[in-house]
Amino acid sequence: MLNSLSGRFLILTAVFVMLAEVMIFVPSVARFREDFLLNRLERAQIASLVLLAADEVNADLQEELLRNAGVFNVVLRRDDARQLVLSSPVPQPVAQTFDLRDAPAFTLIRDAMLRLYTARPEVIRVIGQPVRMGGLLIEITVDTGELRTAMIDYGLRILWLSLVISVITAVLLFLAVRGLLVKPIKRVVATMQAYAKAPEDARQVIKPSSGITELREAEETLQSLQMQLTGALKQREHLAQLGGAVAKVNHDLRNILTSAQLFTDRIETSQDPTVQRLAPKLINSLTRAVHLCEATLAYGKADEPGPTLAGIRLSDVVIDVIESERLSVGDAMVSLSEDVPAHLMVLADSEQLHRVIGNLVRNARQAIVNSGRPGAIHVMANEDDHESIIRVADTGPGLPLKAREHLFKPFQGGTTKGGSGLGLTIAAELVRGHGGSLSLERSDEHGTSFCITLPKGNLGDGA
């Protein structure tokens, strides 16, 4: 219990209340000492007035008056005349003199604490102001033994009262904290434990219900995190399903494409000029289809192969992509162009870079075709001292808002209707594998522009 939040709060409350009572105790004891001495002065003044009123007072009556007043001597000053009114033998010399007339609070507190600290009884002289205009000044001598005993008794009563108050306050606060904080926190913890057992189950997501602002904010934050985690787990499950599905069809699809490659060997022997011009591109397309099949399977297994870096001529890759896409354009009103310096060399994997640029150009072509309006796609490149920059821009309708929000996320960032969004995800991973980056520069009703940056390296060493 003591290790719990409510238990520690109980202990701290009791300690703080006791500290507060101690701060009250010190001035209270000082006030008690002042009242005790003022009471002795008042009683001594009454005794002296009895003596002044009587014509003659015997020794026994004088002793009784001093004993009732609790003093040894009484000196009363009236009309500038100092007069010893009552007196009796003093057991020891006067140790200290205290003037209670207009004494500051700090002095009263200091004297009270010193009196508690000093255990040995002393005789002290106390000076005060007579009550009810009974004179100019009154002095008494008293023993401190009875004063200190009364102060200790009063202090113990104050401490016991403080202890009772602190215990009651601590218990009430303990119950309040337990009801207002501990139970809601335990409910949140129980919800987290239940969610941890089945994070895919959306029913286990916490529903904020606390009336305390801070706890409700914590519940809302936890709800947001749980919903994001549940979504991520579902996405991961989709990726696992994709890997399984691709693994099932990959073997047969690869065999089909391999057979198609064999058929193209016959096509290469044709004497038709058009066939001779298109046959190499068909062979390259089939080869890339086989590689794409294998790469998609590798992505499903989260095992995309690393790039084999070499110095390549960027214009060759871009021209190959554009010519391949022109075959797919057909009669569609889509124009493709490039502006890549013939001398521009980049350190990259030719096959992977072809896939990246081809994916961006293909997405742009599909967006323009789907819009039903003519458009243009332009690939340009330049370099500086540190990196090569490739831009793929189009005049299409721009990306949908959802695609821009979830760009480069599988199954969420698809740019075309029915698309899975894997193309951009794989492209971004391939570029990162080169040490570069793929980013969206702009996308609005006037078109879209993607930017690929590749770091420059030693083109002579290749990988």
pLDDT tens by residue, 9-46: 777 777 777 777 777 788 888 999 999 998 888 888 88
As a whole number of angstroms, the distance between CA 183 and CA 179 comes to 6
Q: Enumerate the domain spans of the chain.
A: 5-171, 202-237, 306-455
Which CATH superfamily includes the segment(s) 306-455? Histidine kinase-like ATPase, C-terminal domain (3.30.565.10)
Size of the chain, expressed as the number of residues it contains: 463
pLDDT the model gives residue 41: 87
Q: What is the CA radius of gyration of the chain?
A: 49
pLDDT tens by residue, 254-298: 656 665 655 566 666 666 777 666 667 676 776 766 666 665 555
As a whole number of angstroms, the distance between CA 424 and CA 412 comes to 10
pLDDT category at 417 given cuts 50, 70, 90 is very low
Q: With contact defined as beta carbons under 8 Å apart, do 125 and 97 qualify? A: yes
Q: With contact defined as beta carbons under 8 Å apart, do 162 and 17 qualify? A: yes
pLDDT the model gives residue 198: 78
- Measured CA distances, 309 to 125, 298, 314, 344 (Å): 103, 19, 13, 16
In terms of pTM, does the model score above 0.85? Answer: no
Please give the residue that has the higher pLDDT: either 259 or 163. Answer: 163
pLDDT tens by residue, 201-213: 777 788 887 777 7
| CB neighbour burial string for 97-126, b if at least 16 within 10 angstroms, e if fewer | ebebeeeeeeebbebbeebeeeeebbbbbb
pLDDT at position 153 over 70? yes
pLDDT the model gives residue 54: 61
pLDDT tens by residue, 172-188: 877 887 777 778 888 88
